[in-house]
Chains A and B, each alone.
Chain A
Amino acid sequence: MTTTTRFKGATGEWEVVIGLEVHAQISTNAKLFSGAATAFGAEPNTQVSLVDAAMPGMLPVPNRECIRQAVRTGMAIEAQINKYSRFDRKNYFYADLPQGYQISQLYHPIVGEGRLEISPDEKDPSDTKIIGIERIHVEQDAGKLMHDQHPTMSYVDLNRSGVALMEIVSKPDMSSPEEAGAYLRKLRSILRYVGSCDGNMEEGSMRADVNVSVRKPGEPLGTRTETKNVNSVRFVMVAITSEAFRQIELIESGGKVVQETRLFDPATNRTRTMRSKEDAHDYRYFPDPDLLPLELDDAFLAECRDSLPELPDAKRARYLAAGISAYNADVLTAEVESALWFDTLLETGAKPAAAANWVSSELFGALNRLGKSFEDCPVTPAQAGELLGLVADGTISGTIAKAVFEKMLESGDAAGVIVERDGLKQTSDTGAIEAEIAKILTANADKVEQYKGGKEALFGFFVGQTMKAMQGKANPQVVNELLKKALG
């Protein structure tokens, strides 16, 4: 169980209580209730249908894929799936909301209670905590406003209007910025495995509303504030810290926390109050008369369940069972692309532990250096499998394998071809190795004396010299044995 972070105030220690509402854009071609496209970065108002612009007489018809992805996401967090759900209207006026209401699900959400296991301490993945999830509901996104293009006007782009969102509401189960960060990373990872959201926070595909309150240890919950639309894991963590200290200072100086909506300003790392009118939260929800209740049958749910991939926790457990280190298992499963790539590598017959080491050091290193990712990986799992196979069966040494890998990256040639062409095969030819050892011992008679006099660290020097003389191609084990014999 992870320990609660205590915030130190003037009157002693405080606990912070955190809940997150994550808005995740559902990855679909078309919008939630219309056929307009959802692609990011299109010309303004080109992806707007008459439904999204709320023209009179237009009726919403839900996109089956949005429903399917919400259900699959619910299943991935072991949540209750509600076979009966309903859409409601949340009424308010704003320039980015042509309908004058957002279609959402207040009373009967599609997904009920679920859970997420997080490990806030990256150094100790076994230190886990369960974060409860209250619900997931499906709703429409609003349009985008731009305020800096004209002196007196704001510009409205409705391309995002009507795009499907999942709102994933956690319980107030997090008690430190680190836990909130771990929760967001884990949630993002699961969404990307499931394929229900691309998790791209820069493009706004995932953003969080952060609920924060503070209390003295053991006391009941304090009044919370909600900081809206925070768009990176780091900003969420900073916003929590800043908001917790603001509340602590406020209470300690005799003030009271007001339940309100706040904004996070990344420039100052502080939250500030959002100027809102009274009654702003009086949304007068009611069931949307344009939409019948959404009823899901068993066949639909079965298809959703059957189409779920192996999820990060299951994959991690499988890797650990195969002898892969906890660190490597974490690194490999964090992103769906690396995990899938690695699974394909294992299918080539590569030994799990050695393959994991190679991917997490050599391949990650190369990708970093080349500025590439697993999506445009310069080597295929099959090519890597061949290279690792050559090491496993003793054809080449680990050191030579590094050089071969470099040549693979440069030329695109297969490992076997490079080894054959450049004559890199490892030799266990004891005659050749012994001949080199003899030369080295003669040339370094002084060091041989020192070694025999007890300076055993020099053994490494002899190994190095022998390997150098053999151009790295000698089998290291054979070299060790022969050297020990020669040095008597």
Chain B
Amino acid sequence: MAIDQATVRKIASLARIAISDAEAAAMEGELNGILGWVEQLGEVDVTGVEPMTAVIPNQLRLRDDVIDADPLTGGNRRDDVLANAPAAMHGFFGVPKVIE
């Protein structure tokens, strides 16, 4: 799979990353290099092999439905949550007006 500069610009725009034409040109080569390298995996015959998601046997852990059981992953910390907001007002995040 080869990508061109238009694709590079589209991906950058979807990711909200500004890139110059020079950067896009450089990126085209880099990304194609990465994709080509990864594509080597396609040479391996995986017939009959189950896809693997982790190298060690591991199961998704689930939490109990308890509010604020661990302060680190609980709520009631508005000041912390808003601490880095450039414009916090009345307990809200303020952002430039976005309206459809």
Contact between chains at A150 and B82 (CB < 8 Å): no
Asked if B45 CB lies within 8 Å of chain A CBs, one says no
Contact between chains at A279 and B10 (CB < 8 Å): yes
Q: Within the assembled complex, what's the spacing in Å between the Cα atoms of A292 and B78?
A: 30
Contact between chains at B65 and A63 (CB < 8 Å): yes
Contact between chains at A62 and B60 (CB < 8 Å): yes
Q: Within the assembled complex, what's the spacing in Å between the Cα atoms of A387 and B67?
A: 44
Contact between chains at B92 and A155 (CB < 8 Å): yes
Q: Of A45, A50, A65, which is within 8 A of B72 by CB?
A: A50
Name A56-113 residues within 8 Å CB distance of B. Answer: 58, 61-67, 91, 93-95
Nearest Cβ distance between residue B56 and chain A, in whole angstroms?
11
Contact between chains at B89 and A64 (CB < 8 Å): no
Chain A 27-59, CB within 8 Å of chain B: the 1/0 string? 011100011110000011111111111000010
Q: What does DSSP make chain B's interface, helix, strand, loop or mixed? A: loop
Contact between chains at B75 and A46 (CB < 8 Å): yes
Chain B 63-79, CB within 8 Å of chain A: the 1/0 string? 11111111011111110
Chain B 15-54, CB within 8 Å of chain A: the 1/0 string? 0100000000000000000000000000000000000011
Q: Within the assembled complex, what's the spacing in Å between the Cα atoms of A364 and B97?
A: 48
Name B71-100 residues within 8 Å CB distance of A. Answer: 72-78, 80-82, 87, 89-100
Q: Within the assembled complex, what's the spacing in Å between the Cα atoms of A295 and B50?
A: 15
A30 partner residues in chain B, CB cutoff 8 A: 63, 65-69
Asked if A145 CB lies within 8 Å of chain B CBs, one says yes
Q: Of B10, B53, B59, B63, which is within 8 A of A64 by CB?
A: B63
Q: Of A29, A51, A153, A154, which is within 8 A of B67 by CB?
A: A29
Q: Within the assembled complex, what's the spacing in Å between the Cα atoms of A291 and B80?
A: 25
A195 partner residues in chain B, CB cutoff 8 A: none
Contact between chains at A49 and B77 (CB < 8 Å): yes
Asked if A222 CB lies within 8 Å of chain B CBs, one says no
Contact between chains at B59 and A295 (CB < 8 Å): yes
Best-buried of B70, B75, B82 by chain A (most CB within 10 Å)? B75
Contact between chains at A37 and B75 (CB < 8 Å): yes
Asked if A147 CB lies within 8 Å of chain B CBs, one says yes
Contact between chains at A158 and B93 (CB < 8 Å): yes
Q: Within the assembled complex, what's the spacing in Å between the Cα atoms of A67 and B64?
A: 11
A292 partner residues in chain B, CB cutoff 8 A: 53-54, 58-60
Nearest Cβ distance between residue A98 and chain B, in whole angstroms?
9
Q: Within the assembled complex, what's the spacing in Å between the Cα atoms of A287 and B53?
A: 10
Contact between chains at B62 and A67 (CB < 8 Å): yes
Contact between chains at B73 and A49 (CB < 8 Å): yes
Contact between chains at A50 and B62 (CB < 8 Å): no
Contact between chains at B70 and A35 (CB < 8 Å): yes
B54 partner residues in chain A, CB cutoff 8 A: 292
Contact between chains at B96 and A47 (CB < 8 Å): no
B1 partner residues in chain A, CB cutoff 8 A: none
Q: Of A50, A95, A145, which is within 8 A of B77 by CB?
A: A50
Interface residues of B (CB under 8 A from A): 10, 13-14, 16, 53-54, 58-70, 72-78, 80-82, 87, 89-100
17 example contacts (A-B, Cβ-Cβ < 8 A) are as follows A30-B63, A30-B69, A35-B67, A35-B73, A35-B75, A44-B78, A45-B81, A50-B77, A61-B63, A63-B64, A66-B65, A146-B92, A149-B92, A152-B96, A155-B94, A263-B100, A279-B13
Interface residues of A (CB under 8 A from B): 28-30, 34-37, 43-53, 58, 61-67, 91, 93-95, 145-147, 149-150, 152-158, 263, 274-276, 279, 282, 284, 287, 291-295
Not counting A36-B74, A292-B59, a sample of 4 additional A-B residue pairs whose C-beta atoms are within 8 angstroms of each other reads: A30-B63, A292-B53, A292-B60, A294-B60
